[in-house]
Structure 1
Amino acid sequence: MRTTPPQRKALSNDVPAIEALMRRSVEELFPLFHDAGDTAAAAKYLTVPDIVLIDDGTYYVHEDGGEIIACGGWSKRDKLYTGSGDRDGDARLLDPATEPARVRAMFVRGDHARRGIGRAILTSCAEAAKADGYRSLVLMATLPGVPLYKAFGFRELGREDLPLPDGTTLAGVAMEMDLD
């Protein structure tokens, strides 16, 4: 039986390793769902670590042998996903009584996929968001993440095309999960 590598909150000095992991994850897992052009665009635009999540203490990493092999977190801010660009309201704090927390920037190295690490990060996100008074979680999934999110209890709200800055659009799935 495999054990899940240890999880901890991400630190600002983890940013270069997180960025490298994000890019590696996209390059390894996106080709199972996307063509080469979509994968290249995702590797460029979806792999920028969001420092706000780290500063807020809501971003987690898993390490194995001193290397970060998975990352992900949740946000109490209005930004839904990294590739959405910067909007004026992105930094706005959400109201836990009326708005859902966001699950953000989930990535796992391909050789560690399907080993329970993503589930461990989602469990930490759900527990922390619930402790902060949130009643639900939402996310915008890219196709590689949909099976994990469904297995964890998220339900599909709808499908959307996610525009990236170079004009590429990725298939996305809006999802939600109640925390009650």
Structure 2
Amino acid sequence: MNSTTCSGWLESVRRCPSPNQDQRPAACEVDLLVIHNISLPPDQYGGPWIDRLFLNQLPPEQHPYFAKIHQLRVSAHLLIRRDGERVQYVPLHRRAWHAGQSCFDGRERCNDFSIGIELEGSDETPYTEAQYRALARTIREIQRRYPAISDDRITGHCDIAPGRKTDPGPAFDWQRLRRLLSRIA
């Protein structure tokens, strides 16, 4: 059974469609998955702020940090919250605006050929067991739809934008993710 509807939405996720998306280039194979982290305000978890950022509704007066970023037009395909809840903002077949200036394996503009997953967290805060389980399950669901995303084509934002980005950071346990992935067919 395909876990993705023909519209590009995963099943059993909360949908929160972002306007920050567009068509991928014609004949562009999706073959990369990028893991990010996000917390709004920084190092604070919960609340509506990540959704509001990806919907262009972040109130600048609510927090000094929001005043600096409220005009950004960004999105990710998915977010995995601390409790493992999955939220999808962009259908998988469309281009989310998550990677910015980036390069992987000699190819620039990673948004064109990647799927971006945000983890609610920060570089230095350990991620939760619920997040790792949800991430591994989500990766396998995506790989069934996009088999060119092999396990060696799962990377961090820091790897495609070195010097500019640091996420998912040193707190992210890549070996733990690999172990979980090895248990899921």
* TM-score, with structure 1 as normaliser: 0.38
Greater fraction of residues in strand:
1
* TM-score, with structure 2 as normaliser: 0.37
Q: Which has the higher contact order (CA 8 A, sep 6+)?
A: 2
